[in-house]
Amino acid sequence: MWIRAMTDLGPTRIRVQSICAYQYIKEESGEGEVLLIYTADNTLFEIHENVSEVLETLDNNFENDFIN
């Protein structure tokens, strides 16, 4: 499974199986939200657009893996 995300460099696809960790950050000043995605090859993706959609997809995927 792949997710499509917009990064600072443009749109990219990230293979969900390569994700080691992700972190949701809501900025205190209300300026926005950021999703950080870390992959197995030590790549860090910083997502600024459609954060809620990508976060929901990741949560659903990893919740199912954790429960099973």
Distance CA 63, CA 18 (A): 16
Q: Hey, where are the domains in the chain?
A: 2-67
Structure tokens at 53: 């959609």
Q: What are phi and psi of 56, to 5 degrees?
A: -65, -40
For the beta carbon of residue 50, count every other beta carbon within 10 angstroms.
Answer: 15
CATH class of 2-67: mainly beta
Whether pLDDT at 68 is above 60: no
Distance CA 48, CA 54 (A): 10
pLDDT at 30 (0 to 100): 67
Q: What is the pLDDT of residues 9-56, one digit of tens each?
A: 888 899 989 999 999 988 777 678 899 999 999 999 998 888 889 899
Report how far apart the first and last C-alpha atoms of the chain are (Å, whole number): 17
